[in-house]
Amino acid sequence: MAAAPHALAGEVVSARIQGRRADVGGTLFKYALLGALLLTIAVLAVLLYSQVDRGSEVLTGRLGDFITSKYSSLSTRAGIKQGINGTLTIAAFVIVIAIPLGVGAAVYLEEYAQKTRLTRFIDVNIRNLAGVPSVVYGILGLAIFARALRNFTGGASVMAAGITLAVLVLPIVIITSAEAIRAVPDSIREAGFGVGATRWEVIRSHVLPYALPGILTGTVLSVARPSARPLLIVVGAKTGFFTGGDLGDLRDNFQALPSQIYQFSRLPESTWGANTAAAIVVLLVIVLAVNSAAILLRNRFEKKR
- At 152-164, the pLDDT tens digits run 887 777 888 888 8
**Domain residue ranges in the chain:** 84-304
Residue 107: predicted pLDDT: 93
What is the predicted pLDDT for the residue at 13?
59
Per-residue CA distances from 295 to 148, 192, 288, 298 (Å): 39, 29, 11, 5
154: left (phi over 0), alpha (psi -120 to 50) or beta: left
> What is the secondary structure of 52-98 as a DSSP string?
HHHTHHHHHHSHHHHHH----SSTTT---HHHHHHHHHHHHHHHHHH
For the whole model, what pTM was predicted? Answer: 0.76
Q: Are 161 and 256 in contact (CB under 8 A)?
A: yes
So what's the pLDDT on residue 245? 41
Name the residue among 216, 191, 186 with its Cα closest to residue 111. Answer: 186
Domain 84-304 architecture: Orthogonal Bundle (1.10)
Contacts 24+ apart (CB under 8 A), 283-286: 283/257, 283/258, 284/48, 284/51, 286/87, 286/257
278 and 264 Cβ atoms separated by less than 8 Å: no
Find the DSSP H helices in 141-247: 150-153, 158-182, 186-194, 199-202, 208-223, 228-235
Q: What dihedral do alpha carbons 205, 210, 216, 221 form, nearest 10°?
A: -150
Closest CA to 250 of 101, 71, 99, 86: 86
The predicted pLDDT at position 237 comes to: 37
Q: Which residues of the chain have pLDDT under 70?
A: 1-22, 224-254, 304-305
The whole-number pLDDT of residue 28 equals 92
Dihedral angle, C-alpha 148, 152, 156, 158, nearest 10 °: -140
Q: What is the amino acid identity at position 280?
A: I
For residue range 116-147, list pLDDT tens digits in order: 899 899 999 999 988 888 888 888 888 888 88
Q: Which of 136, 121, 130 is nearest to 233 (CA)?
A: 136
E-state strands within the chain: none
pLDDT for residue 264: 87
Helix (H) or strand (E) holding 254: none
- Tell me the residue ranges of DSSP E strands in 83-168: none
- Residue 157 three-state SS: coil
What is the reported pLDDT for 234?
A: 60
Radius of gyration of the chain (CA): 25
